[in-house]
């Protein structure tokens, strides 16, 4: 079974981004970039399927600027076999990303596609579902457990109020939730080995996909900051403040 | 033109998230249709018809829709979406699952998790774990939108009397099958709708402590229980307790953050709470920077003391 994993290069989760002074966008110049944490979980799941003898090849795809190669290299060091970079400086929104991934899938014909459930920059949580729609594949979103048996996947999903288990047929799209696995630390020899793995570069034009954004960001702003309150010395004082000052008890 | 709201329900009850989504829809149009998609869900349709501001309820009743599988929901919604200027669903795990699928089938973009409606095509939504608010304008003919329910106030006056009509249910995709659901049974308010939330973090140190320390306080306050990601990852609390960027977003009157340090990802899920109370032994913990009231000390002595003092 061939597995395709999509990875996104995002601002590292430890960075608190700032808004540009003209309010046009967030300022991501010179900030640390990393693989989207949910995508690391996606790569890890694919590697585990390969180690369990259920996946034969792992192709990792990233879309965006040249530096996305670094994100692909990270996935290759984790155990993916080869990379595809769809290179563009254009702003890519989820629908465009889904269309580009669909075009790559048409070429690669994977049986299973794994993506993170959301990227921690735009927090959209759309791409996997949109990709499933465009390919006609069933979807197992917010997965916390995935079992492959023959031509079927059993997926346990994290939903409001508990867990839901679905059986879906391959080919399929999975999006990862936090509890699916814990991604491995990458060892130095694997980083060296990853440098020898191939990365193919494509473009949206070569894939014949129109990536024109449908959504325009009118402005961005920082939300009103919450002022730090006061420290109280005792439980009695806390209860008193909640009753008489905040009036919420 | 009218707006379509997709109802959140369990085939028996209309969920409060629907009313909040209707509240957002009313800022776009005064002609609001609600789609109730399910199986043997007549009671839900009747409840939706009474919801304030609703002009028509459309019911798609079929076995293929019993569990709101995304494949079938996507096809159903995409089939009628073009009759509307906007299609709104609550940003619950259900809405997040099917609405992007429906949008892509229509070749339309989607705006996720809005917290405000600026105009019929312009919405405000948080990005970067709520550290930034983006105002986004959609140029598509149908605006597909999920709504952060805590940002809108439900009108639960039940003043509506909408007509109910049937929509043809879709055939099953045959590609996806519901096997089981393990739903936690809580005799407490729902986390995203609770007036008081008692939330615990890693400092609780075990699942037993999480339960024995926090439950009496939550019981006394009639509160919902929540947790930080660290507490859920460590197995102290079930996954659906998680409050934060990738978990649930809550905005109660009082949020108790107990043994929670306050990572930005957690703050993203609770910083709209009216009053935040932090209990933490580390006085430098970032949670104190957003808390209205903080106590520095050992939660294992403070929480029982607080429970007795209430």
Considering CB atoms only, which of B130, B134, B181 is closest to A164? B181
What's residue A57's pLDDT? 98
Q: Which residues of B touch A242 (CB under 8 A)?
A: 254, 275, 277, 293
What average pLDDT score do residues B232-251 get? 94
A245 conformational bin, left if phi > 0, alpha if psi -120 to 50, beta if neither: alpha
Q: Which residues of B touch A137 (CB under 8 A)?
A: 175
In angstroms, the CA A128 to CA A116 distance is 8
Residue pLDDT, tens place only, B283-307:
999 999 999 999 999 999 999 999 9
Contact A138 B175 (CB under 8 A): yes
Considering CB atoms only, which of A161, A229, A248 is closest to B184? A161
- The number of beta carbons lying within 10 Å of the beta carbon of residue A185 is 7
B265 touches chain A (CB under 8 A): yes
In angstroms, the CA A160 to CA B69 distance is 15
Q: Which residues of B touch A235 (CB under 8 A)?
A: 295, 302, 305-306, 309
User: Is the CB of residue B283 less than 8 Å from the CB of residue B225?
Assistant: no
A225-239, B220-234, B247-261 — which is least confidently predicted?
A225-239
What's residue B183's pLDDT? 86
In angstroms, the CA B275 to CA B296 distance is 17
Torsion of CA A85, A86, A89, A95, to 10 degrees: -130
Residue pLDDT, tens place only, A163-173:
999 999 999 99
Considering CB atoms only, which of A134, A177, A220 is closest to B134? A220
ipTM of predicted complex? 0.95
- For B126, what's the count of Cα atoms within 13 Å in the CB-facing half-sphere? 24
Nearest residue to A169 (alpha-carbon basis) of A196, A149, A194, A144: A149
Contact B113 A123 (CB under 8 A): yes
Is the pLDDT assigned to residue A227 strictly greater than 90?
A: no
Question: What residue ranges in chain A does DSSP mark as E strands?
Answer: 2-6, 9-11, 18-19, 26-27, 33-35, 57-64, 82-87, 112-116, 139-149, 152-159, 162-169, 172-176, 199-202, 215-221, 230-231
Copy the structure tokens of residue A3: 């597995």
Interface A-B, measured as beta-carbon pairs within 8 A, has a size of 250
Eight-state DSSP code of residue B172: P
User: Is the CB of residue B254 less than 8 Å from the CB of residue B275?
Assistant: yes
Nearest residue to A144 (alpha-carbon basis) of A53, A56, A38, A3: A38
What's residue B126's pLDDT? 96
pTM: 0.94
CA terminus-to-terminus distance, chain A: 58
Domains of chain B and any CATH numbers? 3-166 (3.40.50.620), 191-309 (3.40.50.1220)
Averaged confidence pLDDT in chain A: 96
CA A13, A221, B121, B192 torsion-angle sign:
positive
Nearest CA to CA, how far is A174 from chain B (Å)? 11
Contact A139 B176 (CB under 8 A): yes
What's residue A105's pLDDT? 98
Buried residues in A3-35 as b, exposed as e (16+ CB within 10 A): bbbbbbbbbebebebebeeeeeebebeeeebbb
B217 touches chain A (CB under 8 A): no
Nearest residue to B295 (alpha-carbon basis) of B253, B252, B266, B257: B257
DSSP output for A54-114 = S-SEEEEEEEESTTHHHHHHHHHHHT--EEEEEE--S---HHHHHHHHHHHHHHH--SEEE
Residue pLDDT, tens place only, B71-129:
999 999 999 999 999 999 999 999 999 999 999 999 999 999 999 999 999 999 999 99
What's residue B273's pLDDT? 95
Q: Report A:94-153 residues touching B (Cβ under 8 A).
A: 94-95, 98, 117-118, 120-127, 129-134, 137-139, 141-142, 144
Is the pLDDT assigned to residue B186 strictly greater than 80?
A: no
- The number of beta carbons lying within 10 Å of the beta carbon of residue B235 is 11
What's residue B280's pLDDT? 97
In angstroms, the CA A104 to CA B293 distance is 53
What average pLDDT score do residues A98-117 get? 98
Q: Which residues of B touch A131 (CB under 8 A)?
A: 104
User: Is the CB of residue B125 less than 8 Å from the CB of residue B136?
Assistant: yes
What average pLDDT score do residues B234-248 get? 93
Bridge partners of A59, per DSSP, are A4, A82
In angstroms, the CA B144 to CA B113 distance is 11
Copy the structure tokens of residue B121: 């095509």
Angle at A59 between CA A54 and CA A63, to 5 degrees: 145
What's residue B185's pLDDT? 75
What's residue A224's pLDDT? 87
Is the pLDDT assigned to residue A226 strictly greater than 90?
A: no
Q: What proportion of chain B, given as a percentage, has pLDDT over 70?
A: 100
In angstroms, the CA A54 to CA A3 distance is 10
Nearest CA to CA, how far is A72 from chain B (Å)? 22
Copy the structure tokens of residue B33: 């249709």
Q: Which residues of B touch A142 (CB under 8 A)?
A: 93, 96-97
DSSP β-ladder status, B132-138 and B122-127 = antiparallel
Angle at B175 between CA B172 and CA B181, to 5 degrees: 85
Contact B132 A223 (CB under 8 A): yes
User: Is the CB of residue A133 less than 8 Å from the CB of residue B72?
Assistant: no
Q: Report B:5-64 residues touching A (Cβ under 8 A).
A: none
H/E stretch holding A127:
helix A127-135
Is the pLDDT assigned to residue B162 strictly greater than 90?
A: yes
Biggest CA pair distance of chain A? 69
What average pLDDT score do residues B150-155 get? 93
Is the pLDDT assigned to residue A249 strictly greater than 90?
A: no
What's residue A234's pLDDT? 95
What average pLDDT score do residues B130-140 get? 96
> How buried is residue A198: exposed, middle or buried, by Cβ count under 10 Å (0-12/13-18/19+)?
exposed
DSSP β-ladder status, A57-64 and A2-6 = parallel
Q: What is the CATH T-level fold of the domain A2-244, as seen in this structure?
A: Rossmann fold (3.40.50)
Averaged confidence pLDDT in chain B: 96
pLDDT grade, residue A203 (50/70/90)? very high
Q: Which residues of A touch B309 (CB under 8 A)?
A: 235-236, 239
Bridge partners of B143, per DSSP, are B86
Q: Which residues of B touch A228 (CB under 8 A)?
A: 288-291
- The number of beta carbons lying within 10 Å of the beta carbon of residue B127 is 22
What average pLDDT score do residues B216-224 get? 96
What's residue B205's pLDDT? 97
Eight-state DSSP code of residue B62: -
Decide: helix, strand or coil at residue B275: strand
Is the pLDDT assigned to residue A178 strictly greater than 90?
A: yes
């Amino acid at each position: 079974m061939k597995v395709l994993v999509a990875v996104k290069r995002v601002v590292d989760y430890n960075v608190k981004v700032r808004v540009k002074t003209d309010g046009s966008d967030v300022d991501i110049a010179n900030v640390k970039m990393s693989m989207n944490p949910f995508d690391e979980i996606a790569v890890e799941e694919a590697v585990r399927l390969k180690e369990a003898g259920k996946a034969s090849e792992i192709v990792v795809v990233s879309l965006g600027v040249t530096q996305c190669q670094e994100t692909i290299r990270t996935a290759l060091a984790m155990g993916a076999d080869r990379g595809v970079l769809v290179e563009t400086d254009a702003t890519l929104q989820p629908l465009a990303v889904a269309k580009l991934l669909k075009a790559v899938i048409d070429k690669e014909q994977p049986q299973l596609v794994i993506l993170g459930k959301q990227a921690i920059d735009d927090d959209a949580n759309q791409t996997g579902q949109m990709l499933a729609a465009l390919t006609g594949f069933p979807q197992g979103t917010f997965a916390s457990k995935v079992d492959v048996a023959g031509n079927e996947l059993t997926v346990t999903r994290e939903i409001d109020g508990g867990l839901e288990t679905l059986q879906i047929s391959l080919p399929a799209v999975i999006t990862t939730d936090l509890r699916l696995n814990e991604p491995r630390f990458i060892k130095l020899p694997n980083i060296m080995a990853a440098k020898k793995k191939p990365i193919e570069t494509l473009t949206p034009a070569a894939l014949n996909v129109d990536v024109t954004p449908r959504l325009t960001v009118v402005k961005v702003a920082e939300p009103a900051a919450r002022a730090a309150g006061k420290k109280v010395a005792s439980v009695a004082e806390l209860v008193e403040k909640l009753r008489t000052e905040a009036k919420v008890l | 033109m009218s707006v379509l709201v997709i109802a959140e329900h369990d085939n028996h009850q209309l969920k409060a998230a629907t009313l909040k989504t209707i509240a957002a829809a009313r800022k776009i149009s005064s002609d609001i249709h609600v789609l109730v998609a399910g199986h043997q869900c007549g009671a839900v349709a009747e409840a939706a018809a009474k919801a304030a501001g609703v002009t028509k309820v459309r019911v798609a009743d079929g076995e293929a829709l019993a569990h709101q599988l995304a494949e079938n929901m996507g096809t159903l919604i995409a089939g009628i979406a073009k009759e509307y200027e906007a299609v709104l669903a609550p940003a619950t795990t259900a809405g997040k699952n099917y609405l992007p699928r429906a949008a892509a089938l229509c070749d339309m973009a989607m705006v996720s998790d809005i917290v405000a409606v600026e105009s019929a095509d312009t919405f405000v939504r948080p990005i970067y774990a709520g550290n930034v608010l983006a105002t986004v304008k959609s140029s598509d003919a149908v605006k597909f939108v999920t709504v952060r329910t805590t940002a809108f106030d439900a009108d639960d006056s039940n003043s509506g009397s909408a007509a109910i009509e049937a929509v043809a249910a879709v055939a099953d995709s045959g590609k996806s099958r519901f096997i089981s659901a393990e739903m936690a049974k809580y005799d407490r308010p729902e986390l995203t709708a609770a007036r008081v939330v008692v939330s615990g973090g890693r400092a609780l140190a075990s699942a037993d402590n999480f339960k024995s320390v926090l439950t009496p306080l939550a019981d006394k306050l009639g509160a919902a229980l929540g947790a930080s990601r660290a507490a859920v990852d460590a197995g102290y609390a079930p996954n659906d307790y998680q409050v934060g960027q990738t978990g649930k977003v809550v905005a109660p009157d009082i949020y108790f953050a107990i043994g929670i340090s306050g990572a930005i990802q957690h703050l993203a899920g609770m910083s709209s709470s009216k009053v935040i109370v932090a209990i933490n032994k580390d006085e430098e913990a970032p949670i104190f920077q957003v808390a209205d009231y903080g106590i520095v000390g050992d939660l294992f002595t403070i929480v029982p003391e607080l429970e007795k003092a209430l």
